[in-house]
Amino acid sequence: MYGFDFSTNIIHSLKLWLQYFIHLLHLILQQTGKSLRKYFKKSRKLILKRYEKLKAQQREELEVMFLYAPKLRTAHRFERRI
């Protein structure tokens, strides 16, 4: 009807978010120390999981990560809107 497919638009938005998120993670990992770098790498699945589906302990771990990397919180909020 409008010349574009709704599902294609969502897929494009998710692809853009994922590219931004990976770029942001690389920047954070470059700026952090070795121990934090390992922690962020091990917690990648935790970051990618929907906030609503996380358990209470996982949410606390994620909030700690957000304290170290405020831009990560912004990217995670953007992911929830998609």
- CA nearest 21: which of 62, 82, 78? 78
The top-scoring range by mean pLDDT among 4-8, 29-33, 41-45, 51-55 is: 51-55
Kindly indicate the confidence band of residue 57, based on its pLDDT and cuts at 50, 70 and 90: very high
Alpha-carbon Rg of the chain, whole angstroms?
Answer: 15
> For the chain, what is the mean pLDDT?
76
Does the CA dihedral 69-74-80-82 come out positive or negative? negative
Tokens in use for 28?
A: 């954070």
Q: 1-10, 63-72, 73-82 — which one is most confidently predicted on average? A: 63-72
Q: Over range 12-38, report the average pLDDT.
A: 76
32 and 40 Cβ atoms separated by less than 8 Å: yes
pLDDT, residue 7, reads 59
What does the angle CA 67 – CA 62 – CA 9 come to, to the nearest 5 degrees?
Answer: 105
